[in-house]
Chain A
């Protein structure tokens, strides 16, 4: 890779800081396994309550934030940083502006994750969904994010190319928007070192938090991942991006529209009707730029579809981008008021989230890792067949997960609202409905476990690759097209 980088760009490979990329890649693998393990544990707790273990530290209420934060901010965050640090140096043909800031970013982010893993089981939580971390950690996140942003824009400022490639646009929207969302949403009055109260109350707090929460999906799990897609998919397919024009239109459309969609989490609430309706309408319109991104990704593969049979990286990418398309169709549909009336509060939402998280974010992350680790360490992938096995386990796992949650969600939604002939509730006893969900919870656990086992195979395979014998000329480390 180093050789090809210098050959392709005319810039000596040594100028790139790949050490930081390696660090982030290793962190991605470790936190991914941890976050998914916690997911499997809490899935078991829903199917079989004694798995709460009767201890304060291991109840569902304390572990679920650990799961969501670990997979979104630890696994998702670290893979984004892996891809960003690798690709932006090459796209801008310069080393990161400051190695010190890169290191501060890396270690700071990992420390924040460790702090989350310690505080959540202790019951230290703000209990605002996806923004549960206590205020001192929120301040640490702000500082580390600023370090990252300064380094990011500093690197762009000292770039050796004139024009900025589309992947960087998406990274930029990630850097800017997450800063805005995190700071505005975290404003709080500390009571003690461990507890604070938001400056917003009631429905205003709900709106601010869901403005943040939905755009954490938009700008943490969508735009940086689209940036990864725009860099790594053309690389892996050895094809140029299908349409530059489409990338412009869907970039601006996506970042402008996404931010309005938060209120679809508060349909039928005390939020003013006009705000609910705006949230619903913008969520539906959001389908267009979302599918613009999906199509630009999939159509980039034109003429390379035959390689899907043999290349595990492309397999992961195609399924990932397809799940992006599926979940960005499902999301707008669920934002329609009447559909939301049925889906809200049910397992359907959980299924939707996981078709995005496991399907889009997870599959794309593993694609990037399988492509990148052999190149970074300059060694062939240790077990290519195992990567394909991982792909099939993960795909089957996602299907089991989403199908079981669709079924469970529809069932509970319909049974909660069913009215009997006498005008009374057809299922007045709530716990009866809970019990009917049990088989679906076991099926979901099976799906999640398959996905987790697949992830462990990736961890094994990629660590084995890193420790493998030195190799200069292999298929995996073959020269790649110039940026």
Chain B
């Protein structure tokens, strides 16, 4: 484009430096451009890896095997595209959903599922809000529990099964990333799945619903009922009304 450049004699002096240092030397140019794009990210992200950057709380504990399985399904189905897990510190949000979301509540969230859109309501405080049977019916047919809901039915969760070996692989990987699972946690995956799954199946049975502990829906219910619960306990301990 040398012809075009020549039209700008008045800018010659200004441009000379840039032409000589960058436009004639691609290595120089690429190095300085890389530095320019790295600075912001380094300043913002690196402090997050220091103790001051990330709040943690001993009151938050890792997900159980069944909850890990449920969270994997939540992630796989892309639930975050319609539901946030992020109550903002605003009056209306606290009235609608509950206490605003603290950073430490997410400390074992891999991947984070804060979401960016509320086509449906926020879910960060959904745990304990409805009985297990409500969630079962809601997944089978959202309009049976929420008349006029626009959510698609997730009926396959009622029949799909979860695989203990798969859940164990997830927990092993999570442990490697730093989630404090013990060897007993990982050895006891089958037992844990059957135990917590059995409790949910029992509660469903009381509501007249027949299911089995290894169904996908049971894992999803376990995960949804866990959401916000550690935060609730910790906040109540701090004297914050829930």
**Residues of A bordering B, CB below 8 Å:** 45-46, 49, 52, 54, 56, 59-62, 64-65, 91, 123-129, 132, 153, 156-157, 161-166, 169, 172-173, 176-177, 180, 184, 189-192, 195-209, 211, 219, 234, 240-241, 243-245, 248, 252, 255-260, 262-263, 265-266, 268-272, 275, 278-279, 282, 341, 344-346, 349-350, 412, 416-419, 424-425, 428, 430-431, 434-435, 481-483
Contact = CB atoms under 8 A, between A and B. Distances in A.
Given A243-B8, A248-B18, A346-B118, A202 B109 contact: yes
Contact of A62 (B30, B49, B77): B77
Contact of B89 (A60, A207, A268): A268
Interface in B115-130: 115-121
Given A49-B152, A52-B152, A176-B34, A163 B2 contact: yes
A201 B110 CA distance: 5
B76 A54 contact: no
Nearest to B103: A270
Contacts of B37: 173, 176-177, 180, 219, 255-256, 258-259
Contacts of B119: 46, 60, 434
Interface stretch (B164-172, B192-200, B202-210, B234-242): B164-172
Nearest to B10: A245
Contact of A255 (B3, B36, B103, B170): B36
B76 A199 contact: no
B43 interface: yes
Contact of A270 (B34, B55, B155): B55
A408 B84 CA distance: 18
Given A46-B150, A201-B112, A350-B117, 9 more contacts: A49-B151, A60-B81, A127-B80, A132-B78, A203-B103, A248-B15, A255-B37, A263-B44, A341-B90
B111 A195 contact: no
B136 to A, nearest CB: 17
A201 B178 contact: yes
17 contacts: A46-B119, A54-B152, A59-B78, A125-B78, A128-B111, A163-B19, A164-B26, A177-B37, A184-B41, A202-B105, A202-B107, A206-B114, A259-B39, A279-B44, A345-B84, A345-B117, A417-B92
A427 B109 CA distance: 31
Contacts of A163: 2, 5, 19, 23-24
A27 to B, nearest CB: 26
Contacts of B105: 202, 270
B75 A127 contact: yes
B48 interface: yes
Contact of A275 (B7, B44, B116, B156): B44
Contacts of A481: 3
Nearest to B172: A191
B176 to A, nearest CB: 5
A201 B4 contact: no
